[in-house]
A and B are shown apart, each in its own frame.
Chain A
Amino acid sequence: TQLLEQSPQFLSIQEGENLTVYCNSSSVFSSLQWYRQEPGEGPVLLVTVVTGGEVKKLKRLTFQFGDARKDSSLHITAAQTGDTGLYLCAGDRGTGNQFYFGTGTSLTVIP
């Protein structure tokens, strides 16, 4: 059983469209990260959110941490082909040194 569920699992959109990826759990996290992984490479950290209700922006990417710190969303505005990749959320329960990963959302942006 995954601690963090991501949806959708696959997403294929046209360049210029907007999209939202969700990361949900029944557990509370002290922080939550989002990573992007390109084919054949390791995940790269995009952002960490810590406070319930927090919103962070990274250019066209907007990350939000739920008020109860159980869920998060990633919104991409005007997607570009360079956004293609696997998006992973990961949560820190604050009980040790490991993070718990979601199953990932594979995004393909079509030119």
Chain B
Amino acid sequence: DVKVTQSSRYLVKRTGEKVFLECVQDMDHENMFWYRQDPGLGLRLIYFSYDVKMKEKGDIPEGYSVSREKKERFSLILESASTNQTSMYLCASRLTGGRGYTFGSGTRLTVV
């Protein structure tokens, strides 16, 4: 069963901490994405990557960075966590030309 795995379901971090969210997919997809999901705002794209070591900014990249050293792994980094980054973070992957995303189960991050 193909899937996208996010390393943590729930995280609680303190303001100012550096936070790493990990995502691994086993489908050999070229494209990987990080979204955040907030009530009333829907899914907003933070960053995406279409190949190893390649990254593109999405709609809300400020305060975030990403790393893609291997095809199967895409990491989201919060350089200095702030309370307004409390959210549900969703990782997704997609085959180029494919018809839809495969999502992970999400990481609910709370910054206190």
- Residue B64 lies at the interface, judged by CB distance under 8 Å to chain A: no
A101 in contact with B105 given A42-B90, A48-B99 (CB within 8 Å): no
- 8 A Cβ contacts from B55-110 to A: 58, 90, 92, 94, 96, 99-106, 108
A42 touches B104 (CB 8 A): yes
Interchain CA distance A50-B99 in the complex, whole Å: 9
Number of interface residues of A (CB under 8 A): 21
* Interchain CA distance A97-B105 in the complex, whole Å: 21
Instruction: Say yes or no for A95: interface residue by CB 8 A criterion.
Output: no
Interface string of A3-39 (1 = CB under 8 A from B): 0000000000000000000000000000101010000
A43 CB within 8 Å of chain B:
yes
Min CB gap A38→B, angstroms: 10
Task: Give the distance in Å from the alpha carbon of A66 to the alpha carbon of B106 in the complex.
Answer: 31
Give complex CA distance A42, B5 in Å. 11
Q: Is the CB of B103 within 8 A of A98?
A: no
Contacts A102-B42, A103-B40 known; 5 new A-B pairs at CB < 8 A: A40-B105, A45-B101, A88-B42, A88-B43, A97-B31
Can you report 29 A-B residue pairs in the complex whose CB atoms are below 8 A from each other? A2-B42, A31-B99, A35-B100, A35-B101, A41-B105, A42-B90, A42-B92, A42-B103, A42-B105, A43-B43, A44-B103, A48-B99, A48-B100, A50-B99, A88-B43, A90-B100, A90-B101, A97-B31, A97-B48, A97-B50, A97-B96, A98-B33, A99-B101, A101-B35, A101-B42, A101-B43, A103-B41, A103-B42, A104-B42
